[in-house]
Structure 1
Amino acid sequence: MNSMMIVDDAAFARLMLRHLFESMGFEIIAEADTGEEAVRMYRLYRPALVLMDISMPGMDGLAASEKIIEFDRDAKIIVCSAVVHRETVIKAIRAGALDFIAKPLQRDRVVMSVQSIMGMGE
């Protein structure tokens, strides 16, 4: 089973994402609601995949992604945000994200991204 960490400052969003990813066969081994917590949790649990929101209080998801990549250059991070501007997508990819998904998340788009990144369902 693939392990995963969900990072979003909204508890309801984390709950919905937990259900989505568990239905895809992931084990949610960590959740975080700030960038700082995401970096700490990543170092502690080393999940196979991270779904990272951008807009959070304190350290945002882009800075947290950079810190995680500094720690583990092979980390697999998908960034998601309701703010979908070309510049934001470019910043996410430069921060180390392997994909950028717009919120609200659509199940088919999430599945496609995860399958591509994790090499599932090929």
Structure 2
Amino acid sequence: MKSIMIVDDTAFTRLVLRNMFESLGFEVIAEADSGEDAVKNYCLYKPSLVLMDISMPGMNGLSASRKIMDMDRDAKIIICSAVVHRETVIKAIQAGARDFIAKPLNKERIEWAVQSVLGTGT
């Protein structure tokens, strides 16, 4: 089973994402509320996919994505953010993200992105 780590500083968003992923048949093996925790948890759990918010206190999602990619060039990261500007999307891809999902969250868009990045069907 493909495993997911959810990184978002908002507990409600993590809960919504967990419910979406579990309803799609994925296992959420870790959550983090900061970039620092995302990097630590990535090392501990080695998830198949990381869904990463950008705007968080402390280390933001772009910096955390770069650190994860420095540790594991094969890491699969999808950035999920309400900040949707062309420059932000470009920075996310440059940081190693395989896709960018705009908030508010849409289950069909998340499902498509995850299947595309992981190369799986549910």
Could you state the TM-score of these two structures normalised by the residue count of structure 1? 0.98
How is 1:61-80 mapped onto 2 (pairs within 5 angstroms)?
61-80=61-80
Instruction: Give the secondary-structure state (helix, strand or coil) at the position aligned to 2:80.
Output: strand
* Residue aligning to 1:58: 58
Cα deviations by residue, 1:38-63 (Å, 9 ceiling, x for unpaired): 00000010000000000000000000
Partners of 1:19 and 1:37 lie apart in 2 by 21
* Residue aligning to 2:109: 109
Partners of 1:12 and 1:80 lie apart in 2 by 14
Instruction: Give the secondary-structure state (helix, strand or coil) at the position aligned to 2:92.
Output: helix
Q: How many residues align?
A: 122
Cα deviations by residue, 1:64-117 (Å, 9 ceiling, x for unpaired): 000000000000000010000000000000000000000001111111111111
RMSD of equivalent CA atoms: 1.0
Partners of 1:75 and 1:25 lie apart in 2 by 20
Instruction: Give the secondary-structure state (helix, strand or coil) at the position aligned to 2:74.
Output: coil
Partners of 1:88 and 1:113 lie apart in 2 by 18
* Residue aligning to 1:10: 10
Partners of 1:32 and 1:114 lie apart in 2 by 19
Identity %: 70
> For structure 1, which runs of at least 5 residues remain unmatched after alignment?
none
Partners of 1:13 and 1:52 lie apart in 2 by 11
Instruction: Give the secondary-structure state (helix, strand or coil) at the position aligned to 1:101.
Output: strand
Partners of 2:19 and 2:121 lie apart in 1 by 19
* Residue aligning to 2:35: 35
> For structure 2, which runs of at least 5 residues remain unmatched after alignment?
none
Runs of at least 4 residues off by over 4 Å: none
Could you state the TM-score of these two structures normalised by the residue count of structure 2? 0.98
Partners of 1:96 and 1:115 lie apart in 2 by 17
